[in-house]
Structure 1
Amino acid sequence: MRRLAWGLALAAGGWQAPAAAQRTTENTVREAEDGFGKSVGSESIGIYASGEVRGFSATEAGNNRIEGIYWDRAATLSSVITRETTTRVGLSAFGYPLPAPTGIIDHEMRRAGPKPVVSVQVNSGDYLGTDLIVDAAIPIGERIGINLDAGLYDDQYVSGASGRFLSYGGIARLRPVDGVELTGFYGGYSFADEEQAPTIFTADGRVPQPIVRRRFFGQDWADWAGQAFNYGALAKATLGQWQVAAGAFRSRFARDEYHTAFYRGVDADGVGRSFVLAGEDQTTASTSGELRLSRLIEDGPRRHRLLVSVRARDVSARYGGLATADLGLATIGVPDPRPRPMPVSGERTRDDVRQASHAVGYELRWTRLLELNLGLTRTDYRNAVVVPDAAVVLERDRPWLWNAALALLPTERLTLYVATTRGLEESGIAPGNASNPGAALPALRTRQYEAGARYAFPGGWRATTAVFDIAKPYFDLDRRNGAFRQLGTVTHRGAEASLSGSPLEGLSMIVGMVWLRPRVTGQAVDDGRIGPRPIGRTPLFIDASVDYRIPGFSGFSVDAHATYEARRTANAANTASLPARAILDLGARYRSRIGHVPTLLRVQVRNVADTFGWRVSGGGGYTLLPGRRVIASVTADF
């Protein structure tokens, strides 16, 4: 019950959050509350992440928050200013007003503690790509905290491609009076020479033959270069029975140089035609924010909260105008450098979205009995797409959306809940291999039903389980004409579970599992153009993590992270699938002091068995799964 109340207070405008200035103490396993999804620093665990929640992308659905406040993401929030990211579904999202289907992705930025700390981390990265990260957390008196952050990254990928990144940013927090916190931040990154490994599309959609990893078979000139940034301001205040939470954000992602490489029609011998799409000035920029006002009314054991919220976003995207370079026949996995052609890019498509949402909500918390959340939202959505040499396509929608959730507490240890949510989401753009590459896809209405339970066992163990039913329009390649368009409706019915606790002193353990039954229905399935199972989904995924501090070895701990996924549907016809696979990571930490400086030595071996595998994306494109690699880092908090 206290955790539900904490989530309610934070989401409704409370500014308090634990100070976490030292990087040497970060440990995802020990900080995660459940197995649904958590990242701290550079490490992540859980069955969900921003790109896949209950089989869908929460990021594409627009379900992003910065410290509980709505934020429309055009660019990833810089990792150097982000302390942790949490995926919230079911009961863990209960305290968040006006939730959306496909979960919530909430980002917590870094925060200065009571003492100044300068953290320096040197990380080998995947495949010995070297990273250097510096974070200065500086308190000024008791009411001002500043974080200054920078990172240099030389990333190396399983495909043999590489990229260079410079990340930078800062956060300033001010508490002018008790109960009020003001936050301003800026986070950006620049990237250059980020090579693009080809995506593989086979002739019949079947899984490609294995290839040699860490051997780049793209084109050295087919890379990305550009920059991205996010900046904004947040205000949270508790003024007696009133609470205010507000935020305004600007997010921009620009690729000054853009290439997409892919192989089409690859046969059983690995031979297909090699293509590169080339363009420039591909940009997406979004201005967004939220203003939320709530009033708390206490009535004995009952606490009522009334809230009103206004959310808005203004998105401007410029994309397309891509020139196609046909490089001829080539074999996947085999380097085959070709001279850079000089294709002429065309005019770009203009895609402008304006959306405003006005909402009212009611929350009831009845001590040791129940919690009730109700919300009603009116959304005004407008999307104008201007394709060169074509008429303007204008789409408008003004739906009523709603959410309702009820949690019952029959005992001090047991919580039961049911919930339903309606949402309006964007569906992105068509992929590069479609006959309509870059085409804007229409907004879609979604709905979700769910029910679940959480039980707190003696000894600190906690189990959470839920069943859910989500429905959305389904988009994929139409085999009749190659266009990426709506082909039916996709429904995800499934169950998820999490178990966390400490069975032994010094041992922390978290296990998450999701069972999924995804199905596509509609005319395209009835006609046999696509199968009933959507591409890229697996019926079973398990994620388990343990961290053990060995008694008698001060500062030393070992950890393991294991994942298992069942067969994953690999093509639209449902005639191919990726085999089931299990991946094991092993690691260790050693915390000590050099003089008075806390230090951390971290070593991890990922994919210990060097399991080979492919990943499959929407449209049936294949990319490589990372193999075995050793990652080591040294962190010091000065």
Structure 2
Amino acid sequence: MASACFIAMPGPALAQRVDDNVITNANDAFGQSVGNERVGLYSNEDVRGFSPVDAGNARIEGLYFAPVDRLPNRLARGSRVRVGIAAQGYPFPAPTGIVDFDLSAASDADQFTIGLERAQFGSVLGSLDSNFALGSGLRAYLGGTVRRQNRHEGGNFKSWIASGGVAWRPYQGASVIAFWGKTRTYDDEAAPALFPGGDALPPQIPRRRMIGQSWSDRDNTQEVFGALAKLPLGDWRIEAGLFRAVRRVDANFTDIFANLRADGTVANRVMVVDGNNRDRTLSGEARVVRSFADGPLAHRVTLSFRGRTGDRRFGGVQRISLGPSSILFADERRRPVITLGVDDTDDSAQATLGVAYTLTRPGRFLVDAAVAASRYSKTIRFVSAGLVTSNRDRPVTGSITGNYSLTPRLTFYGGYMRGFEEVAVAPQNATNRGAVPPAIRTSQTDLGFRYGLNKGLSLVAGVFQISKPYYNLDDQLLYRDLGSSSNRGIEVSLTGALRSGLTVVLGNVLIDSRITGLLVDEGRIGARPVGTIRRRSIANIDWRLDGGASPLSLDAAFESLSARVGNPSNSLYAPPRETLDLGMRYRFPLGKTRALLRLQMANVFDGYGWQVSSNGAFLYSAGRRLLAELRFDL
């Protein structure tokens, strides 16, 4: 069939099993997850210095989806970052990359897996994944998790996840899936957010010491449900999905230490209280795909309509001054009277019609071109201020990408994309906290190659540049457009089997992030965005003894980060840091049950480092900790 000539999309997803191993399953070093394990240079929140989820570039089984939070980890079996050559042949690629989630309900194999985990600092977790036949061509998935998590900043939280789905395969290659998932997180004490006031780092806080307020318990619920269908009809294919995502925040607290002194004290500690907020999206996509052959050439034409509506209720914030305080001891205060204000509203809608054409000659080249036109609107009502802001836009976006195989081992790739993407929500320390600016125009160029060193080992190297407007806090803490940003970089991935049983995932990315604009020219902000790094390097090794036949495997994960920009003036940097994790897996029979014992020592050398968010908040890294898991395939 002509359609078989195109780059294959991922097969049916499976809920996490005894034999799952994210290192051995990785196709490249750019980002992949399986269950609760992740490997790669990038994550769902950070691709080439930006968040594809915040940008609106999320997919479920390849179909457009607008999330409001992370997907429940039982609902989604895993995810993969589509960037560089991994985005070649993928319908309607986007700047900032795409995160594609796999559904647990898409499995077509029987399963009943129980997981018991002792996580960091005595945390406990239990999980269930099951997939079973209901009848001919009809299957069901049920999964869930209960957790009590002890946080590395002190305090703890509780959460549970429930998910389920039904999959119907009416004929060969066709599938119809309906699913539902819900997450509840509660009793979650807010950890302090530290904002240094000068050029000195915060003093080291003793790990696991609870210095937040015992009454700052956050409580939120997220629910995702939807349905999708993929129906091949000869040379035609129909794909459609409709998804609903809802997040309700009943209580939220942000403990802010602003203008933190070098001795760990502040003149005024502020607790920002929020609640009764809601964020809902309805999103989806419908595609008609026509594939046909012309001698050695294969053609694919895709007509797509995707859209979303968003309905947010935010604001009503109460800011409570707690006065002078310190991060070096538990400075407990009496719970104040909390009176929230009225909520502001944010309503948005977008509809996009696109057409894409792919031409390929198997083993030789691929060319993919796409163009899309959108209608976009956003209206924000700041109720207490009596202010209404509206924005409407009709952007035209597109892409042209391709690759050429010079030899069976060597393939060159490249592409140019123009996108229309969302902007992250204003952070907790912004005066317009929770506000979302209108969507922005973005662009990306990349160029690189893939070389097969042997049958199982692949090298990918490339350069890229991403350009977009730069939103962050000004000197009045107002979240707004501060200029233009450009991320230029070099990324390298080496993945595969060095020999039987020995698998590596090695990666390195160098990024030059720059801001341009009037504020930089006037010296009011530095030329580098807050929270950015110049380099990330990773090395993951999995060694299954006896050439891959042993029940025992050993693994190691090493990560090295360069210094991170710590404030808008670029006068403060969080130091470079390195971490090493060591682990093992032992697979064994337990009667008729297949079992796995998983042990891991994270941050073996107990390194102390600082993470910095894009709004300048400092948070210390987790210390050495032991993770243990038992998993059973019944």
Q: TM-score under structure 1 normalisation?
A: 0.96
Q: 1:112–1:146: 8 Å Cα contact kept in structure 2?
A: no
* Distance change >3 Å, CA 70–CA 7, structure 1 → 2: farther
Deviations 1:107-135 (A, max 9, x none): 11115766632111001122221000011
Q: Give the secondary structure class of the aligned counterpart of 1:30.
A: helix
Partner of 1:570: 566
CA distance in 2, matches of 1:394, 1:42: 40
Q: Give the secondary structure class of the aligned counterpart of 1:503.
A: strand
Partner of 1:269: 263
1:397 paired with 2:393, answer yes
Q: Alpha-carbon deviation of 1:44?
A: 0.7
Deviations 1:373-414 (A, max 9, x none): 100010111000000132311101111101110211111111
Partner of 1:381: 376
Partner of 2:543: 548
CA distance in 1, matches of 2:381, 2:368: 40
Alignment-mate amino acid for residue 407 of structure 2: T
Q: Give the secondary structure class of the aligned counterpart of 2:433.
A: coil
1:423 paired with 2:419, answer yes
Alignment-mate amino acid for residue 153 of structure 2: S
Partner of 1:163: 157
Deviations 1:270-321 (A, max 9, x none): 0012111112211110000000111112101101111110010000000111
Q: 2:23 aligns with which of 22, 29, 49?
A: 29
Alignment-mate amino acid for residue 545 of structure 2: I
1:625 paired with 2:629, answer no
CA distance in 2, matches of 1:344, 1:502: 59
Partner of 2:511: 516
Partner of 1:358: 353
Q: 1:205–1:620: 8 Å Cα contact kept in structure 2?
A: no
Q: Alpha-carbon deviation of 1:207?
A: 2.2
Deviations 1:346-366 (A, max 9, x none): 111100110001101101011
Alignment-mate amino acid for residue 495 of structure 2: S
Deviations 1:465-517 (A, max 9, x none): 110010111122212x2322111111000011100122232101110111101
Partner of 2:555: 559
Q: 1:606–1:629: 8 Å Cα contact kept in structure 2?
A: yes
Q: 1:139 aligns with which of 125, 133, 137?
A: 133
CA distance in 2, matches of 1:42, 1:141: 31
* Distance change >3 Å, CA 48–CA 19, structure 1 → 2: closer
Q: 1:206–1:570: 8 Å Cα contact kept in structure 2?
A: no
Q: Give the secondary structure class of the aligned counterpart of 2:72.
A: coil
Q: Give the secondary structure class of the aligned counterpart of 1:127.
A: helix
Q: 1:19–1:112: 8 Å Cα contact kept in structure 2?
A: yes
Alignment-mate amino acid for residue 421 of structure 1: M
Partner of 1:13: none
Q: Which runs of 5+ in 1 are unaligned?
A: 11-15
Alignment-mate amino acid for residue 587 of structure 1: G
Q: Alpha-carbon deviation of 1:39?
A: 1.0
Partner of 1:465: 461
Q: Give the secondary structure class of the aligned counterpart of 1:619.
A: coil
Q: 2:168 aligns with which of 163, 170, 174?
A: 174
Q: Give the secondary structure class of the aligned counterpart of 1:392.
A: strand
Q: Alpha-carbon deviation of 1:609?
A: 0.5
Q: Give the secondary structure class of the aligned counterpart of 2:205.
A: coil
Alignment-mate amino acid for residue 324 of structure 2: L
Q: Alpha-carbon deviation of 1:7?
A: 6.8
CA distance in 2, matches of 1:358, 1:56: 25
Q: TM-score under structure 2 normalisation?
A: 0.97
Q: 1:320–1:349: 8 Å Cα contact kept in structure 2?
A: yes
CA distance in 2, matches of 1:614, 1:367: 48
**Root mean square deviation of aligned Cα:** 1.7
Return 106-115 or 288-297, whichever deviates more.
106-115
CA distance in 2, matches of 1:38, 1:115: 22
CA distance in 1, matches of 2:366, 2:575: 43
CA distance in 1, matches of 2:147, 2:4: 40
Runs of 4+ in structure 1 over 2 Å off: 4-10, 16-22, 111-117, 139-142, 434-440
CA distance in 1, matches of 2:402, 2:340: 54
Partner of 2:283: 288
Deviations 1:156-192 (A, max 9, x none): 2110121100100102110112231000100111121
* Distance change >3 Å, CA 44–CA 92, structure 1 → 2: same
Return 395-404 or 330-339, whichever deviates more.
330-339
Q: Give the secondary structure class of the aligned counterpart of 2:85.
A: helix
* Distance change >3 Å, CA 588–CA 323, structure 1 → 2: same
Over the matched positions of the two proteins, sequence identity in percent amounts to 35
CA distance in 2, matches of 1:490, 1:319: 28
Deviations 1:492-551 (A, max 9, x none): 000111001222321011101111011111100000001111111111101111100112
Q: Give the secondary structure class of the aligned counterpart of 2:18.
A: helix
Partner of 2:180: 186
CA distance in 2, matches of 1:366, 1:114: 31
Alignment-mate amino acid for residue 278 of structure 1: V
1:229 paired with 2:220, answer no
CA distance in 1, matches of 2:155, 2:356: 49
Partner of 1:434: 430
CA distance in 1, matches of 2:356, 2:109: 40
Q: 2:201–2:262: 8 Å Cα contact kept in structure 1?
A: no
